[in-house]
A = this chain, B = another copy of it.
Amino acid sequence: MEESVDAAELQAFLTREFPQVAEDFIVEAVGEECVIRLRVADRHLRPGGTVSGPTMFALADVGIYLAILHRLGPVALAVTTNCSMDFMRKPEAGRDLIAHVRLLKLGRVLAVGDVLIYSEGGTAPVARASMTYSIPPREKPDPAKSDPAKPEAARA
Contact = CB atoms under 8 A, between A and B. Distances in A.
Contacts of A80: 53, 87
Contact of A144 (B50, B110, B156): B156
A153 B58 CA distance: 22
A15 interface: no
Interface string A42-68: 010011111011110110010000000
Interface residues of A, number: 52
A34 interface: no
Given A104-B116, A107-B156, A132-B132, 6 more contacts: A52-B58, A53-B80, A81-B110, A90-B155, A112-B128, A142-B156
